[in-house]
Amino acid sequence: MVVLNRIYTRTGDTGTTALASGERRSKADLRIETYGTVDETNACVGLARQHSTGDLDAMLSRIQNDLFDLGADLATPESDTPPAYEPLRIVPEQVERVEREIDALNAGLQPLRSFVLPGGTAAAAALHLARTVCRRAERLAVALAATPGERVSPVAIQYLNRLSDFLFVASRVANDGGAKDVLWVPGKNRG
């Protein structure tokens, strides 16, 4: 259990922060940027939940907890040195659950005939925002994984990839099952 008695510590006043291992890194470090963007995704999902109900809200609640797991995973880089405790990792079962939820939501939607513009209902707009922030987190995780000396779980990247798909499908559900989707009309404003 996490206990936070003090919110400020002053340890980050010089532009560094600590990984779960205690290692200090610049707040501009790619790993910090990556899990910070996962946190942004979570905040966007929280915003979407303010406009969601029922099964969709329950799915989004599970995703918010997954995103904390993912942040913990990214804040605890894999190491050749055995850790003092078992680090929390995103696991394939979490990816598989998101896939099942995508399939369940998508089953009730009509096939798309065009790209969807972000918007529609308040819930859908928030879910589109979460989707785009999630895509950025995924790009950062991929860049981090490609950085010499850095390790990122492939399951973490899979989770982000699948989550952005989930958020897209969820946005369509939030748009009254796609009825309020705003479709892209190529070249519409050319004159």
Tokens 């206990």 map to which residue?
Answer: 3
Helix 122-145 / helix 154-174 crossing angle, nearest 10 deg: 170
* Start-to-end Cα distance in the chain: 60
pLDDT for position 1? 61
Q: Determine the pLDDT at residue 87.
A: 86
Enumerate residues 6+ apart whose C-beta is below 8 A from 152: 34, 74, 141, 144, 145
Query: Rounded to 5 degrees, what angle do the CA atoms 159, 165, 168 make?
Result: 140
Query: Given this model, what pLDDT does residue 190 score?
Result: 77
Cβ–Cβ under 8 Å, residues 183 and 115: yes
pTM across the whole model:
0.91
Residue 56: alpha-carbon gap to chain centroid: 16
Q: Could you give all domains of the chain from N- to C-terminal order, each with its CATH number?
A: 25-78+86-109+118-177 (1.20.1200.10)
Residue of 107, 98, 85 lying closest to 159 (CA atoms) = 98
Q: Which two tokens stand for residue 155?
A: 């399951």
Residues 189, 169: Cα–Cα separation, whole Å: 27
DSSP 8-state assignment for residue 13: T
What tens-digit pLDDT sequence spans the chain (191 residues)? 667 777 787 767 778 877 777 778 777 799 999 999 999 999 999 999 999 999 999 999 999 999 999 999 999 988 777 777 788 999 999 999 999 999 999 999 999 889 999 999 999 999 999 999 999 999 999 999 999 999 999 999 999 999 999 999 999 999 988 788 888 999 988 77
